[in-house]
Structure 1
Protein backbone atom coordinates (compact mmCIF):
# COMPACT_ATOMS: atom_id res chain seq x y z
CA UNK A 1 0.00 0.00 0.00
CA UNK A 2 1.59 3.31 -1.02
CA UNK A 3 2.28 5.78 1.75
CA UNK A 4 0.28 8.98 1.45
CA UNK A 5 2.60 11.97 1.17
CA UNK A 6 1.84 15.22 2.90
CA UNK A 7 1.43 18.52 1.09
CA UNK A 8 4.76 19.73 2.46
CA UNK A 9 6.60 16.68 1.10
CA UNK A 10 5.02 17.08 -2.33
CA UNK A 11 5.93 20.76 -2.37
CA UNK A 12 9.50 19.94 -1.36
CA UNK A 13 9.83 17.33 -4.13
CA UNK A 14 8.38 19.72 -6.71
CA UNK A 15 10.83 22.44 -5.68
CA UNK A 16 13.77 20.01 -5.92
CA UNK A 17 12.69 18.84 -9.38
CA UNK A 18 12.39 22.40 -10.66
CA UNK A 19 15.72 23.37 -9.12
CA UNK A 20 17.52 20.38 -10.65
CA UNK A 21 15.86 21.10 -13.99
CA UNK A 22 17.14 24.68 -13.94
CA UNK A 23 20.64 23.51 -13.01
CA UNK A 24 20.59 20.88 -15.79
CA UNK A 25 19.52 23.46 -18.37
CA UNK A 26 22.25 25.82 -17.16
CA UNK A 27 24.81 23.11 -17.86
CA UNK A 28 23.33 21.77 -21.12
CA UNK A 29 22.42 25.02 -22.93
CA UNK A 30 26.04 26.29 -23.35
CA UNK A 31 27.04 22.89 -24.73
CA UNK A 32 24.12 22.94 -27.18
CA UNK A 33 25.12 26.45 -28.29
CA UNK A 34 28.71 25.34 -28.94
CA UNK A 35 27.44 22.31 -30.85
CA UNK A 36 25.14 24.48 -32.97
CA UNK A 37 27.96 26.91 -33.77
CA UNK A 38 30.24 24.10 -34.86
CA UNK A 39 27.70 23.02 -37.51
CA UNK A 40 26.73 26.53 -38.66
CA UNK A 41 28.03 28.55 -41.59
CA UNK A 42 30.47 31.43 -41.30
CA UNK A 43 27.85 34.00 -42.30
CA UNK A 44 25.43 32.79 -39.63
CA UNK A 45 28.12 33.06 -36.96
CA UNK A 46 29.22 36.53 -38.04
CA UNK A 47 25.64 37.78 -38.12
CA UNK A 48 24.87 36.24 -34.71
CA UNK A 49 21.94 34.18 -35.97
CA UNK A 50 22.97 30.96 -34.21
CA UNK A 51 21.11 30.13 -31.00
CA UNK A 52 20.57 26.50 -30.03
CA UNK A 53 20.16 25.07 -33.52
CA UNK A 54 22.60 25.06 -36.48
CA UNK A 55 21.97 27.69 -39.15
CA UNK A 56 22.96 26.83 -42.74
CA UNK A 57 24.16 23.40 -41.67
CA UNK A 58 27.63 22.34 -42.85
CA UNK A 59 30.49 20.11 -41.67
CA UNK A 60 33.42 22.08 -43.10
CA UNK A 61 34.73 22.82 -39.63
CA UNK A 62 34.83 19.13 -38.70
CA UNK A 63 36.48 18.22 -42.00
CA UNK A 64 39.24 20.74 -41.36
CA UNK A 65 39.77 19.67 -37.75
CA UNK A 66 39.86 15.93 -38.50
CA UNK A 67 42.30 16.46 -41.37
CA UNK A 68 44.67 18.55 -39.27
CA UNK A 69 47.93 16.78 -38.32
CA UNK A 70 48.58 19.11 -35.37
CA UNK A 71 45.26 18.15 -33.81
CA UNK A 72 45.92 14.42 -34.11
CA UNK A 73 49.45 14.79 -32.72
CA UNK A 74 48.09 16.66 -29.69
CA UNK A 75 45.34 14.08 -29.26
CA UNK A 76 47.92 11.29 -29.31
CA UNK A 77 49.98 13.06 -26.64
CA UNK A 78 46.88 13.44 -24.47
CA UNK A 79 45.93 9.78 -24.84
CA UNK A 80 49.43 8.70 -23.80
CA UNK A 81 49.36 11.03 -20.79
CA UNK A 82 45.87 9.89 -19.73
CA UNK A 83 46.65 6.17 -20.01
CA UNK A 84 50.10 6.24 -18.41
CA UNK A 85 49.14 8.84 -15.81
CA UNK A 86 45.97 7.02 -14.74
CA UNK A 87 47.85 3.72 -14.50
CA UNK A 88 50.53 5.30 -12.31
CA UNK A 89 47.89 7.07 -10.21
CA UNK A 90 45.95 3.87 -9.53
CA UNK A 91 49.04 1.82 -8.68
CA UNK A 92 50.27 4.39 -6.16
CA UNK A 93 46.79 5.04 -4.74
CA UNK A 94 45.95 1.37 -4.18
CA UNK A 95 49.39 0.45 -2.83
CA UNK A 96 49.23 3.38 -0.41
CA UNK A 97 45.59 3.06 0.65
CA UNK A 98 45.64 -0.67 1.39
CA UNK A 99 48.29 -0.70 4.17
CA UNK A 100 46.87 2.51 5.65
CA UNK A 101 43.43 0.88 5.82
CA UNK A 102 44.66 -1.96 8.03
CA UNK A 103 44.17 -1.36 11.77
CA UNK A 104 47.49 -2.95 12.84
CA UNK A 105 49.79 -0.66 10.85
CA UNK A 106 52.03 1.31 13.20
CA UNK A 107 52.49 5.03 12.61
CA UNK A 108 49.60 5.33 10.18
CA UNK A 109 48.14 8.32 12.03
CA UNK A 110 51.32 10.28 11.40
CA UNK A 111 51.33 9.26 7.75
CA UNK A 112 47.69 10.26 7.35
CA UNK A 113 48.45 13.59 9.00
CA UNK A 114 51.16 14.20 6.40
CA UNK A 115 48.75 13.31 3.60
CA UNK A 116 46.06 15.67 4.90
CA UNK A 117 48.74 18.37 5.30
CA UNK A 118 49.44 18.20 1.54
CA UNK A 119 45.73 18.83 0.88
CA UNK A 120 45.79 22.03 2.92
CA UNK A 121 49.24 23.38 2.06
CA UNK A 122 50.35 22.75 -1.51
CA UNK A 123 53.81 23.41 -2.91
CA UNK A 124 54.19 26.82 -4.63
CA UNK A 125 54.46 26.92 -8.41
CA UNK A 126 58.01 28.28 -8.67
CA UNK A 127 59.69 25.64 -6.43
CA UNK A 128 57.72 22.93 -8.23
CA UNK A 129 58.83 24.27 -11.60
CA UNK A 130 62.47 24.40 -10.47
CA UNK A 131 62.25 20.82 -9.22
CA UNK A 132 60.80 19.59 -12.51
CA UNK A 133 63.54 21.47 -14.36
CA UNK A 134 66.31 20.03 -12.17
CA UNK A 135 64.96 16.54 -12.80
CA UNK A 136 65.25 17.15 -16.54
CA UNK A 137 61.55 16.64 -17.22
CA UNK A 138 60.83 19.89 -19.06
CA UNK A 139 59.32 19.32 -22.52
CA UNK A 140 58.75 15.66 -21.73
CA UNK A 141 55.57 13.75 -20.95
CA UNK A 142 56.99 12.92 -17.51
CA UNK A 143 56.34 16.51 -16.49
CA UNK A 144 52.63 15.94 -17.09
CA UNK A 145 52.50 12.66 -15.16
CA UNK A 146 54.97 12.59 -12.26
CA UNK A 147 53.95 15.82 -10.43
CA UNK A 148 50.33 14.55 -10.40
CA UNK A 149 51.21 10.97 -9.51
CA UNK A 150 49.08 10.83 -6.36
CA UNK A 151 45.98 12.72 -5.23
CA UNK A 152 45.50 12.95 -1.48
CA UNK A 153 41.74 13.38 -1.90
CA UNK A 154 41.37 10.25 -4.05
CA UNK A 155 43.66 8.38 -1.69
CA UNK A 156 41.37 9.12 1.25
CA UNK A 157 38.34 7.96 -0.75
CA UNK A 158 40.09 4.69 -1.58
CA UNK A 159 41.24 4.32 2.02
CA UNK A 160 37.68 4.73 3.31
CA UNK A 161 36.43 2.09 0.89
CA UNK A 162 39.13 -0.43 1.86
CA UNK A 163 38.30 0.08 5.53
CA UNK A 164 34.76 -1.15 4.90
CA UNK A 165 36.03 -4.62 3.92
CA UNK A 166 35.63 -7.20 6.71
CA UNK A 167 38.90 -7.82 8.51
CA UNK A 168 37.85 -11.40 9.21
CA UNK A 169 37.93 -12.16 5.48
CA UNK A 170 41.48 -10.88 5.15
CA UNK A 171 42.59 -12.75 8.26
CA UNK A 172 41.18 -15.97 6.82
CA UNK A 173 43.19 -15.39 3.67
CA UNK A 174 46.36 -14.88 5.72
CA UNK A 175 45.70 -18.10 7.62
CA UNK A 176 45.48 -19.89 4.26
CA UNK A 177 48.97 -18.64 3.48
CA UNK A 178 48.21 -15.78 1.08
CA UNK A 179 50.66 -12.91 1.01
CA UNK A 180 49.53 -9.31 1.32
CA UNK A 181 50.06 -8.71 -2.39
CA UNK A 182 47.91 -11.74 -3.30
CA UNK A 183 45.24 -10.59 -0.85
CA UNK A 184 45.27 -7.19 -2.49
CA UNK A 185 45.08 -8.61 -6.01
CA UNK A 186 42.73 -11.54 -5.41
CA UNK A 187 40.37 -10.19 -2.73
CA UNK A 188 40.59 -6.45 -2.04
CA UNK A 189 40.60 -5.13 -5.62
CA UNK A 190 37.87 -7.49 -6.95
CA UNK A 191 35.65 -6.50 -4.03
CA UNK A 192 36.41 -2.82 -4.64
CA UNK A 193 35.75 -2.61 -8.39
CA UNK A 194 33.23 0.29 -8.07
CA UNK A 195 35.64 2.53 -6.15
CA UNK A 196 38.56 1.56 -8.41
CA UNK A 197 36.55 2.44 -11.54
CA UNK A 198 35.41 5.70 -9.93
CA UNK A 199 38.96 6.75 -9.09
CA UNK A 200 40.13 5.79 -12.57
CA UNK A 201 37.47 8.14 -13.98
CA UNK A 202 38.52 10.93 -11.60
CA UNK A 203 42.18 10.58 -12.57
CA UNK A 204 41.49 10.20 -16.30
CA UNK A 205 39.27 13.29 -16.43
CA UNK A 206 41.84 15.23 -14.43
CA UNK A 207 44.62 14.34 -16.89
CA UNK A 208 42.37 14.95 -19.90
CA UNK A 209 41.37 18.44 -18.73
CA UNK A 210 44.76 19.46 -17.37
CA UNK A 211 46.33 22.25 -19.38
CA UNK A 212 48.07 24.24 -16.62
CA UNK A 213 50.90 21.72 -16.22
CA UNK A 214 51.57 21.70 -19.96
CA UNK A 215 51.41 25.49 -19.97
CA UNK A 216 54.22 25.52 -17.39
CA UNK A 217 56.41 22.66 -18.53
CA UNK A 218 55.85 22.23 -22.29
CA UNK A 219 57.25 24.65 -24.86
CA UNK A 220 57.92 22.13 -27.62
CA UNK A 221 55.02 22.15 -30.08
CA UNK A 222 55.35 18.44 -30.81
CA UNK A 223 54.76 17.61 -27.13
CA UNK A 224 51.70 19.79 -26.61
CA UNK A 225 48.63 17.93 -25.30
CA UNK A 226 45.14 18.52 -26.59
CA UNK A 227 44.08 21.00 -23.91
CA UNK A 228 47.09 23.25 -24.53
CA UNK A 229 46.33 23.05 -28.24
CA UNK A 230 42.77 24.12 -27.46
CA UNK A 231 44.03 26.89 -25.18
CA UNK A 232 46.19 28.30 -27.96
CA UNK A 233 43.20 28.41 -30.29
CA UNK A 234 40.68 29.93 -27.89
CA UNK A 235 42.73 32.13 -25.56
CA UNK A 236 45.36 33.31 -28.01
CA UNK A 237 43.39 33.00 -31.29
CA UNK A 238 46.46 31.41 -32.84
CA UNK A 239 44.64 30.02 -35.88
CA UNK A 240 47.47 30.38 -38.40
CA UNK A 241 49.71 28.06 -36.36
CA UNK A 242 47.09 25.44 -35.53
CA UNK A 243 45.16 25.52 -38.82
CA UNK A 244 47.33 26.79 -41.67
CA UNK A 245 44.74 25.32 -44.05
CA UNK A 246 42.18 27.82 -42.72
CA UNK A 247 44.02 30.61 -44.53
CA UNK A 248 42.84 29.11 -47.80
CA UNK A 249 40.03 31.30 -49.09
CA UNK A 250 38.23 28.29 -50.51
CA UNK A 251 37.46 26.93 -47.04
CA UNK A 252 34.07 28.01 -45.73
CA UNK A 253 35.18 28.21 -42.12
CA UNK A 254 35.65 30.89 -39.49
CA UNK A 255 37.89 31.12 -36.42
CA UNK A 256 34.85 30.98 -34.13
CA UNK A 257 33.49 27.91 -35.88
CA UNK A 258 36.85 26.16 -35.64
CA UNK A 259 37.08 26.99 -31.95
CA UNK A 260 33.66 25.53 -31.25
CA UNK A 261 34.46 22.42 -33.29
CA UNK A 262 37.70 21.77 -31.46
CA UNK A 263 35.86 22.11 -28.14
CA UNK A 264 33.29 19.49 -29.20
CA UNK A 265 35.89 17.08 -30.56
CA UNK A 266 38.05 17.50 -27.45
CA UNK A 267 35.14 16.86 -25.10
CA UNK A 268 33.47 13.98 -26.95
CA UNK A 269 35.91 11.13 -26.09
CA UNK A 270 35.62 11.58 -22.33
CA UNK A 271 31.83 11.88 -22.61
CA UNK A 272 31.61 8.59 -24.50
CA UNK A 273 33.37 6.72 -21.70
CA UNK A 274 31.02 7.72 -18.89
CA UNK A 275 27.88 5.74 -19.95
CA UNK A 276 29.84 2.47 -19.82
CA UNK A 277 31.02 3.02 -16.23
CA UNK A 278 28.06 4.96 -14.85
CA UNK A 279 26.84 2.03 -12.73
CA UNK A 280 30.23 1.54 -11.09
CA UNK A 281 30.73 5.29 -10.75
CA UNK A 282 27.53 5.86 -8.74
CA UNK A 283 28.16 2.88 -6.48
CA UNK A 284 31.81 3.78 -5.97
CA UNK A 285 30.99 7.38 -5.07
CA UNK A 286 28.58 6.16 -2.38
CA UNK A 287 31.05 3.62 -0.99
CA UNK A 288 33.82 6.19 -0.76
CA UNK A 289 31.58 8.66 1.06
CA UNK A 290 30.56 6.35 3.93
CA UNK A 291 32.81 5.90 6.93
CA UNK A 292 32.15 3.06 9.31
Structure 2
Protein backbone atom coordinates (compact mmCIF):
# COMPACT_ATOMS: atom_id res chain seq x y z
CA UNK A 1 0.00 0.00 0.00
CA UNK A 2 1.35 3.41 -0.99
CA UNK A 3 0.98 6.31 1.40
CA UNK A 4 0.81 9.95 0.42
CA UNK A 5 3.66 12.29 1.29
CA UNK A 6 1.47 14.12 3.80
CA UNK A 7 0.61 10.88 5.59
CA UNK A 8 4.28 9.89 5.76
CA UNK A 9 5.17 13.27 7.26
CA UNK A 10 2.35 12.85 9.77
CA UNK A 11 3.62 9.41 10.81
CA UNK A 12 7.12 10.76 11.31
CA UNK A 13 6.01 13.66 13.48
CA UNK A 14 3.54 11.45 15.32
CA UNK A 15 6.30 8.95 16.10
CA UNK A 16 8.60 11.73 17.33
CA UNK A 17 5.80 13.17 19.48
CA UNK A 18 4.98 9.78 21.04
CA UNK A 19 8.67 9.11 21.66
CA UNK A 20 8.98 12.42 23.52
CA UNK A 21 5.95 11.56 25.64
CA UNK A 22 7.53 8.19 26.50
CA UNK A 23 10.76 9.91 27.52
CA UNK A 24 8.91 12.42 29.69
CA UNK A 25 6.97 9.62 31.39
CA UNK A 26 9.87 7.21 31.83
CA UNK A 27 12.61 9.60 32.90
CA UNK A 28 11.31 10.32 36.45
CA UNK A 29 10.83 6.58 37.05
CA UNK A 30 14.30 5.66 35.77
CA UNK A 31 15.91 8.56 37.62
CA UNK A 32 14.28 7.49 40.89
CA UNK A 33 15.40 3.90 40.35
CA UNK A 34 18.94 5.04 39.56
CA UNK A 35 19.02 7.30 42.64
CA UNK A 36 17.90 4.48 44.92
CA UNK A 37 20.75 2.26 43.63
CA UNK A 38 23.51 4.88 43.59
CA UNK A 39 26.12 5.81 46.17
CA UNK A 40 25.66 8.88 48.35
CA UNK A 41 28.72 10.51 46.78
CA UNK A 42 27.34 10.23 43.25
CA UNK A 43 23.98 11.65 44.30
CA UNK A 44 25.69 14.50 46.15
CA UNK A 45 27.61 15.44 43.01
CA UNK A 46 24.43 15.44 40.90
CA UNK A 47 25.77 12.76 38.57
CA UNK A 48 22.63 10.63 38.45
CA UNK A 49 20.58 10.51 35.27
CA UNK A 50 18.85 7.31 34.25
CA UNK A 51 21.76 5.02 35.13
CA UNK A 52 23.01 4.41 38.69
CA UNK A 53 26.59 5.12 39.72
CA UNK A 54 28.38 3.39 42.54
CA UNK A 55 25.72 0.72 42.73
CA UNK A 56 24.75 -0.36 46.24
CA UNK A 57 21.65 -1.58 48.04
CA UNK A 58 22.12 0.28 51.31
CA UNK A 59 18.85 2.21 50.98
CA UNK A 60 16.86 -0.97 50.34
CA UNK A 61 18.59 -2.68 53.26
CA UNK A 62 17.57 0.12 55.62
CA UNK A 63 13.95 -0.11 54.57
CA UNK A 64 13.85 -3.89 54.78
CA UNK A 65 15.03 -3.75 58.38
CA UNK A 66 12.11 -1.60 59.48
CA UNK A 67 9.09 -3.52 60.77
CA UNK A 68 6.80 -0.54 60.09
CA UNK A 69 7.38 -0.98 56.36
CA UNK A 70 6.18 -4.59 56.45
CA UNK A 71 3.16 -3.72 58.59
CA UNK A 72 2.20 -0.97 56.16
CA UNK A 73 2.70 -3.27 53.19
CA UNK A 74 0.49 -5.94 54.71
CA UNK A 75 -2.21 -3.37 55.44
CA UNK A 76 -2.06 -2.04 51.90
CA UNK A 77 -2.44 -5.52 50.39
CA UNK A 78 -5.45 -6.22 52.64
CA UNK A 79 -7.08 -2.86 51.88
CA UNK A 80 -6.47 -3.25 48.15
CA UNK A 81 -7.78 -6.81 47.85
CA UNK A 82 -10.87 -6.39 50.03
CA UNK A 83 -11.59 -2.90 48.73
CA UNK A 84 -11.35 -3.97 45.09
CA UNK A 85 -13.63 -6.96 45.64
CA UNK A 86 -16.19 -4.83 47.46
CA UNK A 87 -16.03 -2.06 44.86
CA UNK A 88 -16.45 -4.50 41.97
CA UNK A 89 -19.43 -6.12 43.68
CA UNK A 90 -21.16 -2.78 44.32
CA UNK A 91 -20.33 -1.47 40.84
CA UNK A 92 -21.71 -4.56 39.10
CA UNK A 93 -24.79 -4.61 41.33
CA UNK A 94 -25.45 -0.96 40.45
CA UNK A 95 -24.50 -0.94 36.78
CA UNK A 96 -26.39 -4.06 35.70
CA UNK A 97 -29.91 -2.95 36.72
CA UNK A 98 -29.28 0.49 35.23
CA UNK A 99 -28.36 -1.14 31.92
CA UNK A 100 -31.74 -2.88 31.61
CA UNK A 101 -34.43 -1.17 29.55
CA UNK A 102 -37.35 -2.09 31.79
CA UNK A 103 -36.05 -0.50 35.01
CA UNK A 104 -38.70 1.83 36.48
CA UNK A 105 -37.36 5.32 37.27
CA UNK A 106 -34.09 4.62 35.50
CA UNK A 107 -33.70 8.21 34.29
CA UNK A 108 -34.07 9.72 37.75
CA UNK A 109 -31.75 7.18 39.35
CA UNK A 110 -29.11 8.02 36.75
CA UNK A 111 -29.52 11.74 37.46
CA UNK A 112 -29.03 11.03 41.16
CA UNK A 113 -25.72 9.25 40.52
CA UNK A 114 -24.48 11.83 38.02
CA UNK A 115 -25.32 14.63 40.49
CA UNK A 116 -22.81 13.18 42.96
CA UNK A 117 -20.05 13.52 40.34
CA UNK A 118 -20.39 17.31 40.34
CA UNK A 119 -21.43 18.05 43.92
CA UNK A 120 -20.05 16.57 47.13
CA UNK A 121 -20.54 17.12 50.82
CA UNK A 122 -16.90 17.94 51.50
CA UNK A 123 -14.32 16.60 53.89
CA UNK A 124 -15.87 17.70 57.21
CA UNK A 125 -19.31 16.11 56.61
CA UNK A 126 -17.58 12.95 55.39
CA UNK A 127 -15.44 12.84 58.52
CA UNK A 128 -18.48 13.33 60.77
CA UNK A 129 -20.34 10.60 58.91
CA UNK A 130 -17.50 8.11 59.35
CA UNK A 131 -17.20 9.07 63.02
CA UNK A 132 -20.94 8.69 63.68
CA UNK A 133 -20.91 5.29 61.98
CA UNK A 134 -18.25 4.24 64.55
CA UNK A 135 -15.85 2.92 61.92
CA UNK A 136 -12.91 5.18 62.78
CA UNK A 137 -9.63 3.24 63.02
CA UNK A 138 -11.12 0.31 61.11
CA UNK A 139 -10.62 -1.03 57.61
CA UNK A 140 -14.12 0.17 56.68
CA UNK A 141 -13.08 3.79 57.12
CA UNK A 142 -10.64 3.32 54.22
CA UNK A 143 -12.79 1.10 52.02
CA UNK A 144 -16.41 2.25 52.33
CA UNK A 145 -16.17 6.00 51.47
CA UNK A 146 -14.73 5.26 48.03
CA UNK A 147 -16.28 1.88 47.39
CA UNK A 148 -18.28 3.12 44.38
CA UNK A 149 -16.90 5.28 41.61
CA UNK A 150 -19.77 6.71 39.58
CA UNK A 151 -17.47 7.15 36.59
CA UNK A 152 -16.51 3.46 36.66
CA UNK A 153 -20.15 2.49 37.17
CA UNK A 154 -21.22 4.46 34.09
CA UNK A 155 -18.55 2.78 31.96
CA UNK A 156 -19.61 -0.66 33.17
CA UNK A 157 -23.29 0.17 32.67
CA UNK A 158 -22.61 1.15 29.07
CA UNK A 159 -20.72 -2.10 28.51
CA UNK A 160 -23.58 -4.16 29.92
CA UNK A 161 -26.01 -2.26 27.69
CA UNK A 162 -23.94 -3.22 24.64
CA UNK A 163 -24.61 -6.93 25.22
CA UNK A 164 -27.49 -8.00 22.92
CA UNK A 165 -30.87 -8.19 24.61
CA UNK A 166 -31.58 -11.36 22.64
CA UNK A 167 -29.25 -13.30 24.95
CA UNK A 168 -31.22 -12.23 28.00
CA UNK A 169 -34.53 -12.98 26.34
CA UNK A 170 -33.40 -16.45 25.26
CA UNK A 171 -32.13 -17.19 28.79
CA UNK A 172 -35.42 -16.11 30.37
CA UNK A 173 -37.35 -18.30 27.97
CA UNK A 174 -35.25 -21.22 29.25
CA UNK A 175 -36.30 -20.33 32.80
CA UNK A 176 -33.11 -18.62 33.98
CA UNK A 177 -33.69 -15.96 36.62
CA UNK A 178 -32.04 -12.54 36.79
CA UNK A 179 -29.31 -13.59 39.22
CA UNK A 180 -28.27 -16.63 37.19
CA UNK A 181 -28.49 -14.53 34.03
CA UNK A 182 -26.00 -12.10 35.51
CA UNK A 183 -23.58 -14.68 36.90
CA UNK A 184 -23.76 -17.30 34.14
CA UNK A 185 -24.09 -15.19 30.99
CA UNK A 186 -23.45 -11.47 31.49
CA UNK A 187 -20.35 -11.62 33.69
CA UNK A 188 -18.48 -14.24 31.59
CA UNK A 189 -19.03 -11.98 28.58
CA UNK A 190 -17.79 -8.96 30.53
CA UNK A 191 -14.21 -10.03 31.30
CA UNK A 192 -12.66 -7.00 29.51
CA UNK A 193 -14.60 -4.41 31.51
CA UNK A 194 -14.22 -6.34 34.78
CA UNK A 195 -10.45 -6.51 34.28
CA UNK A 196 -10.36 -2.80 33.52
CA UNK A 197 -12.40 -1.88 36.59
CA UNK A 198 -10.27 -4.19 38.74
CA UNK A 199 -7.19 -2.30 37.64
CA UNK A 200 -8.82 1.10 38.24
CA UNK A 201 -9.99 0.22 41.74
CA UNK A 202 -6.81 -1.64 42.73
CA UNK A 203 -4.60 1.29 41.73
CA UNK A 204 -6.88 3.67 43.61
CA UNK A 205 -6.79 1.68 46.84
CA UNK A 206 -3.07 0.97 46.53
CA UNK A 207 -2.18 4.66 46.15
CA UNK A 208 -4.66 5.98 48.71
CA UNK A 209 -3.11 7.53 51.80
CA UNK A 210 -5.38 10.47 52.57
CA UNK A 211 -8.24 8.35 53.93
CA UNK A 212 -5.95 6.61 56.39
CA UNK A 213 -4.40 9.92 57.39
CA UNK A 214 -7.83 11.33 58.28
CA UNK A 215 -9.64 8.33 59.70
CA UNK A 216 -6.87 6.29 61.35
CA UNK A 217 -4.84 7.38 64.36
CA UNK A 218 -3.40 3.91 64.99
CA UNK A 219 -0.09 3.69 63.13
CA UNK A 220 -0.33 -0.13 63.12
CA UNK A 221 -3.21 0.18 60.66
CA UNK A 222 -1.59 2.69 58.30
CA UNK A 223 -0.97 1.65 54.66
CA UNK A 224 2.48 1.67 53.13
CA UNK A 225 1.68 4.88 51.26
CA UNK A 226 1.64 6.73 54.58
CA UNK A 227 5.05 5.23 55.30
CA UNK A 228 6.19 6.55 51.92
CA UNK A 229 4.74 9.97 52.74
CA UNK A 230 6.68 10.13 55.99
CA UNK A 231 9.87 9.10 54.17
CA UNK A 232 9.42 11.78 51.53
CA UNK A 233 8.88 14.35 54.27
CA UNK A 234 12.04 13.17 56.00
CA UNK A 235 10.30 11.91 59.13
CA UNK A 236 11.16 8.22 59.27
CA UNK A 237 13.91 6.56 61.22
CA UNK A 238 15.50 5.26 58.01
CA UNK A 239 16.08 8.73 56.65
CA UNK A 240 17.74 9.88 59.86
CA UNK A 241 19.64 6.78 60.99
CA UNK A 242 23.03 5.43 59.95
CA UNK A 243 26.60 6.49 60.50
CA UNK A 244 26.41 9.68 58.46
CA UNK A 245 27.51 13.15 59.41
CA UNK A 246 26.85 16.54 57.88
CA UNK A 247 23.59 18.00 56.69
CA UNK A 248 24.36 17.54 52.98
CA UNK A 249 25.22 13.86 53.34
CA UNK A 250 22.13 13.28 55.48
CA UNK A 251 19.99 14.93 52.82
CA UNK A 252 21.50 12.73 50.11
CA UNK A 253 20.97 9.61 52.19
CA UNK A 254 17.39 10.74 52.63
CA UNK A 255 16.99 10.96 48.83
CA UNK A 256 18.33 7.45 48.27
CA UNK A 257 15.93 6.04 50.86
CA UNK A 258 13.08 8.01 49.33
CA UNK A 259 13.87 6.56 45.92
CA UNK A 260 14.08 3.02 47.27
CA UNK A 261 10.76 3.39 49.08
CA UNK A 262 9.07 4.77 45.97
CA UNK A 263 10.31 1.82 43.93
CA UNK A 264 9.20 -0.78 46.49
CA UNK A 265 5.73 0.78 46.66
CA UNK A 266 5.34 1.33 42.89
CA UNK A 267 6.71 -1.83 41.27
CA UNK A 268 4.11 -4.32 42.63
CA UNK A 269 1.16 -2.42 41.19
CA UNK A 270 3.00 -2.00 37.87
CA UNK A 271 3.31 -5.79 37.64
CA UNK A 272 -0.47 -6.06 37.33
CA UNK A 273 -0.62 -4.20 34.01
CA UNK A 274 0.83 -6.96 31.76
CA UNK A 275 -1.87 -9.39 32.91
CA UNK A 276 -4.80 -7.06 32.14
CA UNK A 277 -3.35 -5.22 29.15
CA UNK A 278 -5.22 -7.35 26.58
CA UNK A 279 -8.53 -6.48 28.27
CA UNK A 280 -7.77 -2.88 29.12
CA UNK A 281 -8.19 -1.10 25.77
CA UNK A 282 -11.22 -3.11 24.65
CA UNK A 283 -12.89 -2.66 28.03
CA UNK A 284 -12.51 1.09 28.12
CA UNK A 285 -13.44 1.63 24.47
CA UNK A 286 -16.52 -0.60 24.47
CA UNK A 287 -17.64 0.80 27.79
CA UNK A 288 -17.27 4.45 26.83
CA UNK A 289 -18.45 4.89 23.23
CA UNK A 290 -21.51 2.63 23.08
CA UNK A 291 -24.69 4.46 24.11
Task: Please say whether Structure 1 and Structure 2 have the same fold, judged by a TM-score greater than 0.5.
Answer: yes
Shift of 1:123: 2.0
Instruction: State the match for 1:239 in structure 2.
Output: 236
What are the ranges of 5 or more consecutive residues in structure 1 without an aligned counterpart?
none
Partner Cα separation in structure 2 for residue 154 and residue 230 of structure 1: 28
SS state at 2:206 partner: helix
**1:261-287 deviation digits (Å, cap 9, x = unpaired):** 000000000011111111011221121
Kindly provide the CA deviation profile for residues 13-69 of structure 1, in whole angstroms up to 9, marking residues without a partner as x. Answer: 222111111111001001110000000011212222222211111011112222321
Return the TM-score normalized by structure 2.
Answer: 0.95
Aligned to 2:269: 270
Runs of 4+ residues over 4 Å off in structure 1: none
CA distance in 2, matches of 1:14, 1:289: 30
Who is 2:60 aligned against?
Answer: 62
**TM-score, structure 1 normalization:** 0.94
Is 1:26 aligned to 2:55, yes or no?
no
Q: Distance in 2 between matches of 1:47 and 1:23?
A: 28
Pick which of 216-225 and 177-186 moved more: 216-225
Give 1:229 shift. Answer: 1.1
Match 2:219 to one of 218, 221, 225: 221
Partner Cα distance (2:12, 2:134) in 1: 58
CA distance in 2, matches of 1:149, 1:50: 41
In structure 2, distance between residues paired with 1:37 and 1:248 = 18
Greater shift, 194-203 or 49-58, is seen at 49-58
| Matching residue within 162, 168, 171 for 1:170 | 168
**In 1: Cα distance, 2:210 partner to 2:10 partner:** 42
Q: Secondary structure at the match of 2:104?
A: coil
* Distance of 2:114 and 2:266 partners within structure 1: 32
The equivalent of 1:160 in structure 2 is 158
Structure 1: how far apart are the matches of 2:256 and 2:41? 10
Corresponding residue SS for 2:120? coil
